Structure 1
Amino acid sequence: MFTAVPSDRLEYFLKEKNITNYVHAMEYEPKQVIDQPVKSTLNSKAGTYLCINLVNGKKYVGSASQGGMYNRYCGHLLGGHGGSQNVKAAVKKYGIENFAFLVLETNENGKIRDEILATEQKYIDLLMPEYNIALFAGSVLNSKWSQDSRDRLVKSETYLKRMENLRLARKNTPVSEETRELLRANALERGPVSDETKLKMSINNNKSVAIQAYLADSDTLYREFLSIAEAAEHFFNDRDKRGPIKYALAKNTKILNKYYLRKS
């Protein structure tokens, strides 16, 4: 439902993040009882929205052009087409009644993509949403960032803080023996490395090389890493397992059959 006064839980998280001037808020409204005026109101807006888990405060920030806001709501929270897989999994675990959907800010020029993306990026930097895979705005609008924009973000304080938090979280996450065996089996399947490949890998023998990982099926930015060692820790839970990362960079092959790696 659209709420003029947020619930106590939602109000707590909004105050914590100093969000005071949002446009609309919806808390638990099953798809079958959303009436046409609500759909029309959502779809009349172009701008940035927030999905928030009221149990743990984790967030997802996205944007929609005019006519697409209702589809974003359905995709993320009601199991509709598209939407963040992280949010969908969380809704399945915690229940839709523990989520809120907010329209944070609207853009008057609803069809001008650059303005919408700039607003979305502002809130990504402000809220550092945990459910977002990448720190770049615009994936839902099929836009691509320039290399200059990516370089600026990689050097920003927000990005460095986020990467450090992710590194610490991964470091403190235990890895099961089953997962270790699976990773070991995957490594063995790749077979021995040729002398030619070893030579190419040695050229890239630099722990501080910044890397970008892209989804192979869509060429969408998945994640950024500050070093080869950090990428190895993410994909293999072992910072010393840098060989497969260097090989993928040198040969432009997929890693884990899902990602392409490129130097930033």
Structure 2
Amino acid sequence: MKILTGFSYFGSVAIVSASYANADTQKESILNDNKSKAGIYCWTHVDSGKKYVGSSIDLYRRFMQYYNIKYITRAVKSSLICRALLKYGYSKFQLEILEYCDPSSIIEREQYYIDSLKPEYNILQVAGSLFGYKHTPESLEKMREIALNRSDETKAKLREAALGKTYNHTEETKIKLRDAILGRKHSEETKAKLSLIQSNRIKHPVAGFKIEVKDMQTGQISHYDSIRDAGKGLNSNHASIRYNLDNGKLFRGRYLISKKNN
């Protein structure tokens, strides 16, 4: 039997968004009901009461993997829930959707349910934890899903962190990023402020510096008006060019990048 309700939590009793008493006979409903949905789910072994809490931004895809015998067979060495599904069979498990939620809050909500339910089948008791754990195919898939759905701002921050840098955003960039995060359109006041910033930029352009690129194999030297132009000339991006410029490393083991003396 399937139960559909709003979610709330009272002590140790959860009122779930959807519940399937028999994961074997209700396979079709499980898959059809959860297409294009993100959320937190819970497997429960009906005899022992042991649980597993997981999450996915694509529940249909995740459940298709659980119903793929080859997939869960590959994961048995590092996944207790996959091992249990193979041992007891789907008919011995109840599947619940604890909460449908926005993909951006997946990890936070998963941690909430792990803390609340203390699931025995979870090897990790920290959602998304990387410590002392060899990733199962399920974990790798979850990380891939999250990576594909990162916002442009998150991607930029990760790129900066990877380069060991934190750039001070301009006031214009801060405004655009803030509005993008909040999912709102620019107000008339904000538009006026951005227009003023643009006009001041034209009147008072920011001075850049020219770039010199030397091919250490051929000795050829090329000059560019900016880091961005150098990136285009080398079929790369400005972040990579800046990294090699600041660290004095050869780009692609061949090109020496330096500031051009005026």
TM-score, structure 2 as length reference: 0.42
Larger radius of gyration: 2
